[in-house]
Structure 1
């Protein structure tokens, strides 16, 4: 069994928290793991937001027992969470699963450039709070017979597809970052683009989304 030796207990706790949040949105969630050297990237897709979440994890050493230098596998998020030992700062890689379609299409590794127009972190969090409050207010105002899933989804799409500041980043990306624990009060936030992709990055994780209308440009199938 492949054992990941995480850099410290804090890295193990953050990985466990990320996996727990993914499972909150999808009990059968899968994650794709990619590692090389002492860096591990964990990719997940919370279905409520239609984005790709990426949590970077520092490893103390590549692998146990001299296994291969690189790792690329899709596994059950729940099984991976169960294997995390925070006190020992380790995690055992579960058996591979048949990955969902998103796991085969990841953002490009390079070519990212900084994008201007992102509000300050406090303003970004305030924007998310206002959007959540608007969604609750508008849905609560609906008559019972009008409170259908289709109508709730329509209101949600209208609100969460709005863009952030002077960027083309949908508000739902920032909402996902906050819901996944990436958008913390002390954390700087930056926006990057590469081809068809936008990526909101914080020290605790990133959220990526494909910009609409760009077809299949710059897709990395790995």
Structure 2
């Protein structure tokens, strides 16, 4: 297997990403990026189901945007919008991430071991067999799942913080579903949402995803699998229908 290690210290993101794309085009299957500090757009638009990028440091915004296939593993935190409009692949973040994680994501998986900022999962979409998945190990800030049109978000609330403690969860949602470990204060829900305890069928559906997340980060899956979960979804597939008039 062809591999490549790049020392990214003091390299601007444009030539860095040019090096990455060139390496993938030449058949490199594993790229290790050391000393990453804020470089944006890493992995954007890359294709290849057998390509892995290992990021040691803190990548900048829009990590893996439009990516279709590769895996990106971040040993550190990540800035805003990792997985933005991602089509396929995996983003594994061994830390926390900023706002708009999985923004408009179309497929693949984003796993964040710790916490995320505001508007995680905003505008996520599902198309045919492609169902984007975002799993957050810690907590999510306000407006989680805003305007979701499809996909799946799971928030596990590991550690001492509540998984959800702020307003606007699912605001404008009209597709997809959000699962939260434990109860959710109704005051945190956005307009047009409903919540209910998970059914056995829903529990069976999320089980392999939780097991995969736990295995990825070396977490004991047992307590997560037996815990109670709340499912949050849209009341209507057309939440804004009353805002328009037909003539």
Instruction: Give TM class, smaller chain.
Output: under 0.3
More contact order relative to length (CA 8 Å, sep ≥ 6): 1
Higher helix residue share: 1
Q: Normalization by structure 1: what TM-score?
A: 0.25
